[in-house]
A = this chain, B = another copy of it.
Amino acid sequence: MSPAFAQLDAGGRLRHFLTLDGLPRSLLESLLERAFSFASRPGRAATRGEALRGSTVVNLFAEPSTRTRASFELAAVRLGGDVLNFDNALSSRVKGETLLDTVHTLLAMQADYFVIRDAEAGVQELVAREVDSEAAVVSAGEAHLSHPTQGLLDAMTIREHKGDVGQLTIAIVGDIARSRVARSAHLALRTLDAREIRIVAPRAMMPEAAEFAGARRLESLDDGIAGADVVMMLRIQHERTGAAGPVDLAAYHREFGLTAARLKHAAPNAIVMHPGPMNRGVEIDSDVADGPQSVIRRQVANGVAVRMAVLQHLAEARRTRVG
């Protein structure tokens, strides 16, 4: 994400939501506060709002994602918005101007929000520059680089269960190099002044030295989670095999799978997180995923709340600028 493109307006509100990079702490806090106001309780009716009444939200997902797409769709619908879904709408068009023709077509049809997931870096910013003030772009995942609403929901879930992030040691574990979840969590938690962020990965999955500024790097799971208040496991994306060839899943589990025994190295009441979908028996065992320290399902619930918060903020900011 080029910092050249300002996602903030003159009043410090979001014009688009493309990255957590450079987001002021006060804005991040304000988004979390909104999200808590939308948070739902199990068995209770979903929280709703009216911020998107009369607005049109277009979901442009070039990568399949039942989970994230459903989360954004529900967030939009529960704020009264109309939703159009275009799965793979950009994938065949992602070269140059044709993508922008699709965007301008939807813009001419009065699309107000573009929620975009793409495997290619820069697509969200390209679209944001193009639609400028006519519509708002929200990233739903950009290559291996960024997944800002996931970063927010992770921060929200940590605060919900463990309070002040400034007092916490948080271990992010797994294929860090290729994880947009890890990058956005790192940015959110650094903005909230986490006491200590650790990235824990086998050497082959460690990111470049310049990345994850300020984080401690550990190549052993036991050391990595020792005394941690939060253990954030990542999904092994074994469908994406890199230059190093396919991942040996059994070997990975032996070295980096979170078992109940290993979890004992973390702080006694540490919480366990995972962005889903899980590979049970690979990066995480079922008794941990479903155990008392797991907050994985709560992450999903908070995901809808965070997306409602972002969309509501964008709607209010647009109204303020116009009005």
Q: Contacts A66-B102, A70-B109, A102-B66: A97 and B40 contacting too (C-beta < 8 A)?
A: no
User: Cβ of A237 < 8 Å from any Cβ of B?
Assistant: no
Give the complex CA separation of A238 and B300 in angstroms.
42
- State the CA gap A18–B277 with chains docked (Å): 27
A142 close to B (CB within 8 Å): no
Q: Is the CB of A134 within 8 A of B42?
A: yes
B109 and A301 contact, CB distance less than 8 A:
yes
* Interface-lining segment among A48-56, A116-124, A190-198: A48-56
A15 at the interface (CB under 8 A from B): no
Question: How many residues of chain A have a CB within 8 Å of chain B?
Answer: 47
Q: Which of A46, A299, A304 has the most CB of B within 10 A?
A: A46
Q: Chain A: interface secondary structure?
A: helix
Task: Tell whether, in the assembled complex, residue A106 and residue B70 are in contact, meaning their CB atoms are under 8 Å apart.
Answer: yes
Counting every copy of the chain, the complex holds: 3
Q: Write out, one digit per residue, whether chain A residues 101-119 have a CB within 8 A of any chain B CB (1) or not (0).
A: 1101111111000000000
Q: How far is the CA of A109 from the CA of B70 in the complex (A)?
A: 8
A301 interface neighbour in B45, B66, B78, B108, Cβ under 8 Å: B108
Q: Which residues of B contact A77 (CB under 8 A)?
A: 82
* Chain B residues positioned under 8 Å from A109 (CB to CB): 70-71, 74, 300-301, 303-304
Q: In this assembly, does A215 line the interface, its C-beta being within 8 Å of a C-beta of chain B?
A: no
A35 to B40 CA separation, bound complex (whole angstroms): 32
Contacting B at CB under 8 A, from A70-85, are 70-71, 73-74, 77-78, 82, 84
Residue among A40, A110, A286 with the most chain B CB within 10 A? A110
A108 touches B300 (CB 8 A): yes
Bound state CA distance, A240 and B71, in angstroms? 36
| A84 close to B74 (CB less than 8 A) | yes
Residues of B within 8 A of A74 (CB): 56, 82, 84, 109-110
Give the chain B neighbours of A89 by CB distance below 8 A: 66
A103 vs chain B, min Cβ distance (A): 11
CA separation between A134 and B55, bound complex, in Å?
A: 31
User: Taking the complex as formed, is A98 at the interface, i.e. its CB lies under 8 A from any CB of chain B?
Assistant: yes
Instruction: Point out the residue from B40, B56, B276, B303 that lies within 8 Å of A101, measured CB to CB.
Output: B276
Say how far A274's CB is from chain B's closest CB, in angstroms. Answer: 10
Q: Is A86 an interface residue (CB 8 A)?
A: yes
Is A264 among interface residues, defined by CB-CB distance under 8 A?
Answer: no
Q: Given A74-B109, A104-B300, A108-B298, output 14 extra A-B contacts at Cβ < 8 Å.
A: A43-B322, A45-B55, A46-B110, A66-B102, A70-B84, A70-B86, A74-B84, A77-B82, A78-B82, A97-B280, A105-B276, A109-B300, A109-B301, A109-B303
- Residue contacts A-B, CB under 8 angstroms, 26 given: A40-B110, A42-B134, A43-B322, A45-B54, A45-B55, A45-B110, A46-B54, A46-B56, A46-B110, A48-B54, A66-B86, A66-B89, A66-B102, A67-B105, A70-B105, A73-B84, A77-B82, A101-B278, A101-B280, A102-B277, A105-B276, A108-B297, A109-B303, A109-B304, A110-B301, A110-B304
